[in-house]
Amino acid sequence: GLWVGVHFRQVCMSFLQLLWYRYYFVLFYRSVLVRMVHDCLTGLSREERAFQYVLTHATPGDPDSILDTFDHWCTEIEFISNIGPKKGLVLDKLLKENCPLTVLELGTHCGYSTVRMARCLPLGARLFSVEMDERNALVAEKIIRLAGFDDDTVRLIVSPSDEVIPKMREDYGVERLDFIFMDHWKRCYLPDLQLLEGSGLLGQGTVILADNVIFPGAPNFLRYVKHSGLYRYRVHRASLEYIRGIRDGMAELIYLGTK
C-alpha cells in the first residue's frame, strides 16, 4: 500500500511537470519556430509584420484601438513580448495615480507600451522612450505616430540605454524623472538603475516599474533593490504576457532618496 501511494504521487508529479513544460514548449513554438517560418516566407521582421497588421486593422488616432489590435495579433497570430493587457492594467493604474510629467521608458521595442503609457499621461507630460535596435525603432515610430502622439509628447531616442541616461540632463533638459518603465534587456536593469541613481535623475517619490523580473528574470536587480535601502518595493505577480501558465511579475519601486 505504501509503495502504491509513493508511486501514485510520483506519477502525479510527473504529470504536473509535463503540464508545466507544455507552456514553455508553447512559448518556444510561438516565439521562435513560428517567427523563423514567417521571417523566411515574408522577408519582414516580426515587428514589421505586426505593424502591417495594426495599420490595416486598427483605427488611426485611437490608442486603445491600436493596443487592442496589437493584443489580438500577439494572442492569435504571432507572439511578441509586449507588456500585454493584464500587466498593462498595473502600468495604467500607477500612471493615473502618480500623474508623472517626465517619464522614461527603457526598451521601446515596437511601441506598444509607449502608446499604452502616452495615453495615460496628463496634459503637458513628456515621455522619452529609448530603443537601441534601429529596425525596431522604425516600427515603433510608425506605431506611436499612428496612435496620434507627436514628438512633443513622445520623444523616441535610438541609442543604448547606458549612453542615454548620463546625458538626459545635457541633451534633453531633464532635471528629474517622475516615472521609469524598464522593459529592455534584463541584464541591464541593475546597471541602468545604478546609472539613474548616479545621474541625479531620481527624486524622492520617483516610481520605477520593471517588467519580467520573474521570467526571464532579473535576480541581481531584485537582490540589490531589496538590500540597498533606497527603495520601497513590491512585486506584482502575474503570468507571462499572451502565454498562460508561465509565472512572471513586475517590480514596483519607489525611490526614498539617498541614505
> In the chain, what is the straight-line distance between the N-terminal and C-terminal CA atoms, in Å?
61
Give the least confident one: 2-11, 78-87, 241-250.
2-11
- Residues 48, 124 share a domain: no
What's the Cα-to-Cα distance from 214 to each of 209, 219, 220, 223, rounded to whole Å?
13, 8, 11, 12
- Residue after which a domain boundary falls, among 26, 49, 76: 76
- Tell me if residue 211 is catalytic: yes
- Residues 225, 191 share a domain: yes
Mean pLDDT of the residues in the chain: 91
- Residue after which a domain boundary falls, among 45, 76, 107: 76
User: In degrees, to the nearest 5, what angle opens at C-alpha 175 toward C-alphas 210 and 88?
Assistant: 25
- Residues 229, 135 share a domain: yes
- Tell me if residue 76 is catalytic: no
Who's near 243: CB < 8 A, 6+ residues apart? Answer: 23, 26, 27, 30, 79
- Tell me if residue 248 is catalytic: no
pLDDT at 15 over 50: no
Give the H or E element holding residue 140: helix 134-146
- Residues 203, 90 share a domain: yes
Q: Identify the sign of the CA torsion 250, 256, 257, 258.
A: negative
Stated pTM of the model:
0.90
Confidence of residue 56 (pLDDT cuts 50, 70, 90): very high
- Residues 69, 97 share a domain: no
184, 218 Cβ separation under 8 angstroms: no
- Residues 24, 94 share a domain: no
Catalytic residue among 186, 192, 248, 252: 186
Catalytic residue among 87, 131, 212, 252: 212
- Residues 131, 250 share a domain: yes
pLDDT at 3 over 50: no
- Tell me if residue 183 is catalytic: yes
- Residue after which a domain boundary falls, among 76, 93, 126: 76
Longest dimension (CA), the chain: 74
pLDDT at 90 over 60: yes
Who's near 187: CB < 8 A, 6+ residues apart? Answer: 218
- Residues 160, 141 share a domain: yes
- Residues 129, 224 share a domain: yes
- Residues 103, 69 share a domain: no
- Residues 48, 24 share a domain: yes
Q: Residue 148 has which C-alpha cell?
A: 496620434
For residue 131, what is the domain's CATH number?
A: 3.40.50.150
Alpha carbons 102 and 104: distance in angstroms, whole number: 7
Q: pLDDT by residue (tens digit) across 92-118? A: 999 999 999 999 999 999 999 999 999
- pLDDT of amino acid 24: 75
Q: What 3-state class would DSSP assign to 201?
A: coil
231, 254 Cβ separation under 8 angstroms: yes
pLDDT at 12 over 90: no
- pLDDT of amino acid 17: 53
Q: Give Cα 254 distance to the centre of its chain.
A: 18
- Residues 153, 98 share a domain: yes
Residue 198 CB burial class (10 angstroms; 0-12, 13-18, ≥19)? exposed
- Tell me if residue 71 is catalytic: no
Catalytic residue among 78, 178, 192, 211: 211
Catalytic residue among 105, 131, 241, 252: 241
* Domain hosting residue 11, numbered range: 2-76
Q: How many domains, the chain?
A: 2
Catalytic residue among 71, 105, 183, 248: 183
